Structure 1
Amino acid sequence: MKKFATITLMVFTLLIGCTPDANITSPDESTIKSQAQLIKLPALKSGLKIETNLTREKYINGYNGGSFIEQFEFQCVTGNVIINSQLNFPAGAFSGGKTITQTFNTETASLEFGPAMQFNIPVKYTLTVSGLDLTGINPETLDFVYVAQNGSITGVEYDSITMDVATGTLKVTNAKLNHFSRYGFVN
């Protein structure tokens, strides 16, 4: 009887401990990411009036694909912040043609894309933001993420992410976007 009880207890422990949601040794990725914050941009230069969002748009035919390349630049107390943004749409990414918008937030290193849609084939996105004060940013926890409406964040698959403290530059290369929403750098 003791043997049966011991085996039953071991099987029960094994089943509970090996479920996909069980994580005994460390917090799960969503817990770590929930503590991450969007990277802030330097304050705008005194007296400079600028909208908190900079928007550009371009018509893209989803059947043919195409590229949407933009550069944003504005003056901050630390100098100029320069944003280079490139969206690459493969042929067949979506049906029909749409006017695509990129809205860059001048308070955080984040962008919002529209209109809201899912892609048949992921869109590749490369973003470079230069002129930042990266003091206190940890390159080990730097990430590029999707930001949901409720504020939760989810990591995005990409080819590379780099940080150059000397030039104040963050760069993500070929982030794979499955849908349009808000995306940005976090630490």
Structure 2
Amino acid sequence: MKRIILTSFLAVGLFFAGCSDQSSIVGPSQNTSQQLNKTPIELNLKTLNKKITATKNIDGSVGGTIEIKGLLDGGDITLNGKLNIPAGAFEGTLEISATLDDHTASFDFGPSPTSFNKALSFTMTISGLDLTAINPNDVVFGYTAPNGTFSLISYDNVNVDVNSGTLSVTNAQLLHFSRYNWVK
């Protein structure tokens, strides 16, 4: 009888230990975004610069495009891109903004938080950066949550040209507004 009770307790204990959120037979329990351990790419600006922001009122039933252009470091660094908002992405009218961070290759989109019925398309090129310490194969583009975790998003292409100091992303799919960036 003691053997049956002991075996029962052992079986129940193993069941609960195996079903806990802290264990996994096939790998670690952290989600992929935490495992990426990526850091944003620094702009390494030499001078103080005003933040570059593009803002436009967009009717969600019609959609539209926001051009994002600017110069930093006396024109040594250029950015040129656009945010395409498809018709039906949201209801009503929103004042949409895209702001380049003044330290990293990151964009804050607003109003945040805003989620969309259809993905918005973001394409951007930043040229004139010092990327000599960057391995192009390590660079990806995605979303950084307020708690610092990074998640990849869908995009057609990320390009890093160390010689010309150019970072670009083509057709990044934004399903919500927050911070998006190139990371290494």
TM-score range, shorter chain: 0.7 to 0.9
Between the two proteins, the alignment pairs up a number of residues equal to: 168
1:167 to partner: Cα distance: 0.9
* Structure 1 unaligned regions, length at least 5: 1-11
Q: Structure 1: how far apart are the matches of 2:163 and 2:95?
A: 37
User: For 1:64 and 1:165, how far apart are their aligned partners in 2?
Assistant: 39
How far did 1:44 drift? Answer: 2.4
1:29 is aligned to 2:28: no
* 1:82 equivalenced with 2:78 (yes/no): yes
1:105 is matched with 101
Aligned to 1:50: 49
The reply to whether residue 186 of structure 1 matches residue 183 of structure 2 is yes
Deviation for aligned residue 1:153? 1.1
Unaligned stretches of 5+ in structure 2? 1-13
TM-score, length basis structure 2: 0.80
Q: What's the CA shift string for 1:92-145, capped at 9, x where partnerless?
A: 011111111111112100010111210000001001111111112122220111
Once residues 43 and 123 of structure 1 are traced to their aligned partners in structure 2, the CA distance between those partners, rounded to angstroms, is: 29
Pairs within 5 Å for 1:134-149? 134-149=131-146
Please state how far the C-alpha of 1:147 moved relative to its aligned partner.
1.1
Aligned to 2:4: none
Distance across 2 between alignment mates of 1:105 and 1:72: 13
Equivalent AA in structure 2 for residue 42 of structure 1: N
1:3-22 aligned at under 5 Å gives the runs 22=24
- Which runs of at least 4 in structure 1 moved beyond 3 Å after TM superposition? 21-25
Kept in 1: contact 2:34–2:150 (CA 8 A): no
The answer to whether the 8 Å contact 2:105/2:181 transfers is yes
RMSD of the TM alignment (CA)? 2.6
Greater Rg by CA = 2
Q: 1:61 aligns with which of 36, 59, 84?
A: 59
SS at match of 2:35: helix
**Aligned partner of 1:94 among 58, 82, 90:** 90
Alpha-carbon distance, 1:28 to partner = 6.2
**Any idea what the Cα deviations from partners look like across 1:22-80, whole Å, max 9, x if unmatched?**
4449x8633432x21100012223xxx433x322211111101111112011116xx71
Distance 1:73 1:162 in 2: 20
Q: Distance in 1 between matches of 2:59 and 2:172?
A: 21
Amino acid at match of 2:97: T
Cα separation, 2, equivalents of 1:29 and 1:141: 16
Q: Distance in 2 between matches of 1:54 and 1:125?
A: 16
Compute the TM-score of the two structures, normalised by the length of structure 1.
0.79
1:122 to 109, 119, 123: 119
